[in-house]
A and B are shown apart, each in its own frame.
Chain A
Amino acid sequence: MSIALKGVMQAPVTPLKDDGSFDPDGFAKMVDFHVRHGAPAIAWPHHKAESLNLTIAERKLGAEVAVKTVAKRVPVSIFVGTLAEEDSLEIARHAQKIGADLILAISPYCRRPSQEEIFDSVVRIGTHTDLPILTYNSPWRNGEGVEFTGDLTRRLIDRLPNYIGMKDASFHSEKFMEISRVALKMRPGFAIIMGVEHLLASYPLGACGSFSSSGAIAPNLCNKYFAALVANDWDTARQCQYKISRLWRLFKEQYPSSLKGAMIMMGRPVGPTRPPLPTATKERIDFLRKQLEELNILQTEPHGW
């Protein structure tokens, strides 16, 4: 069950055709692009990949494409978060069957669940598969998230031998440390992986990496960032974090519409964004081009596939 998860891991977007249908060939190119540009793991389909706008059949097909394209070069994590827990169980079963390396779960979704409901649901998913499982801590205040406290994390580590880590999107010193203090003591290899590269503040305290937002635009920057963290070169890491945070400010509006727009502009056609999210307009893409030039991204990062 030992999987080495570390570094700025890439969570590909989902390429769509002009008619909005899933583009498996484009997705294979997307996944391969990330692996060739140093991704230490592939994780799909996160929110950036419009997970909740994909059918269960599309999610299974995409998972198969990801596993086949990666071909064991790096670990593949399949996100099983769905509105209905039964769908999560089905995707988890499928992930195991096709040879994925681990799953990422968030459940119950969009319900303001109690700690007991989260515990029960994660245990149902975690005992439904032999795969290692990560949970997704998202203590957002508008109710669609799921919050893991230190105590809940302790109970889940006690209960699930395959519970190997957490994606932490709290972005909060106290909440992060409430979990890290408990988890890393109980299970020293427990992987705490930050959301969208907000990694600088937590890396010295035991976080092992992040799930990337900007890697589809700036993989070189992501790799430089993590190398600086490993070397404890804090000045370089800080400059990379500041730049990545500026990218995040550009992309977070109607995420991932702007990100997909910027990818198209950089020669990686990933198509529209499914409703109810908007597709980036020509004006928005022109704005992004100027911003990315100013940040020296267009000049230093790969174009095309």
Chain B
Amino acid sequence: MPIFKPGLVHTPVTPFKVDQSIDYDTYAKLVEFHLRNGADALAVQMPAGEDMSLKDDEQGKLLEFALKQVKGRVPVIAHISDAGTDIAVARAQHAEKAGASAIVSHPPYFWHPKASMVAEHLVRIGAATRLPFFVCSPPVEDVGTPLTTEITLEVLDRVPTLAGAIDASMDFVFMVEVLSLGRAKRPEFQLLPGTDYMVPAGVIGAMGAFSPLSAVAPKLVRKVYDLCVKQQFTQARKEQEDIAELSHRLKMAGLAGLKGALRVLGRDCGQPRPPARALGEVEYGKLAEDLRAMSFLRAEPGGWEK
């Protein structure tokens, strides 16, 4: 079986209308925007796409819509995480049937089972389909069980389709250990950063990246990614610092920050769904002012066109 290497993966937000329903028309525009602006693959309903705020049937429908819109132009990766193993397994099986190219899962949400049970959860998901499977470490501050090196190695031993780990923890120690020990077991094992901090992961040996900021600054993201592919890590420092500045500012406002930035750039995808807080007009005004002061954003596309 050929090795699935996703490359630069854009992780679209999920647009919502004022009544909180999914805005499929805008989602179609967003998918096209990502494809025109450097996506080698899409990963749908990742945390940037507010997966936890989507109902089960919405997740399935959104994936089907994305696949139909993409029409095979790039691979579509389905994020299928849930608290319950059976729910996640069913979602993975649906993703395979619908035509996804790969699946990705965090450890179970909310629960803190023993490490062996976390591994079992992930093994059952991985074994439920024939698709390439990626496990994903959650950001350290998230609620849930962390993905450890030991858990990943156990899943690697038991799931032949495990293609790699996506790191959103940004933890140097985890990244080095999981990649070096994972490759010792399976040379094609991959590490991909799950955030836009691509230089630290790239120099450790990551291949590919999942980019939550790709809808906001696709050119900047692509530039850092390309420099990392060429192993020009030192040369990527300035652009990586720009990404860090943007990321730091948006994080102050949570999911609403990401969507607020899209609105500033003329790609309005609405507000996040409750319980995530929406930005008030004063907060939005301050965000817009701060983003306009970031001169590197002037090179990015305005509106939906390239």
Binding site for B on A (CB under 8 A): 150, 171-178, 180-181, 198, 200-206, 232, 234, 237-238, 241-242, 245-246, 248-249
Contacts and interface: CB of A to CB of B under 8 A. Distances in A.
Contacts of B176: 198, 200-201, 241-242, 245
A248 B181 CA distance: 13
A177 B241 contact: yes
A202 B170 contact: no
A198 B173 contact: yes
Interface in B122-136: none
B244 A177 contact: yes
B240 A171 contact: no
B204 to A, nearest CB: 6
Contacts of B201: 173, 201
A204 B170 contact: no
Interface of B: 140, 170-173, 175-177, 180, 193, 195, 197, 199-201, 203-205, 231, 233-234, 236-237, 240-241, 244-245, 247-248
A202 B237 CA distance: 10
Contacts of B172: 171-173, 198, 200-202
Contact of A177 (B140, B171, B175, B197): B197
Contact of B199 (A178, A205, A245, A249): A205
Contacts of A198: 172-173, 176
B200 A245 contact: no
B244 A174 contact: yes
A53 B266 CA distance: 60
Contact of A246 (B175, B180, B199): B180
Please name the 3 residue pairs, one residue from A and one from B, whose CB atoms are nearest each other, closest first: A201-B200, A204-B233, A173-B197
A206 B244 CA distance: 14
B204 A204 contact: no
Among A172, A174, A242, chain B packs the most CB atoms within 10 A around the CB of: A174
Given A174-B248, A177-B197, 14 more contacts: A171-B171, A173-B170, A173-B200, A174-B197, A176-B200, A198-B172, A200-B172, A201-B172, A201-B203, A202-B200, A205-B237, A205-B240, A234-B231, A245-B173
Contacts of B244: 174, 177-178, 181
Most B CB within 10 A of own CB, among A172, A175, A177: A177
A145 to B, nearest CB: 14
B174 to A, nearest CB: 9
A232 to B, nearest CB: 6
Nearest to B245: A181
A246 B241 CA distance: 30
B42 to A, nearest CB: 23
Nearest to B206: A201
A204 B237 contact: yes
B200 A241 contact: no
Contacts of A202: 172, 200
A197 to B, nearest CB: 10
A214 B193 CA distance: 27
A104 B295 CA distance: 37
A204 B241 CA distance: 11
A204 B198 CA distance: 12
A187 to B, nearest CB: 16
A203 B237 CA distance: 10
Contact of B177 (A173, A203, A204, A249): A249
A255 B9 CA distance: 40
Nearest to A181: B241
A242 B233 contact: no
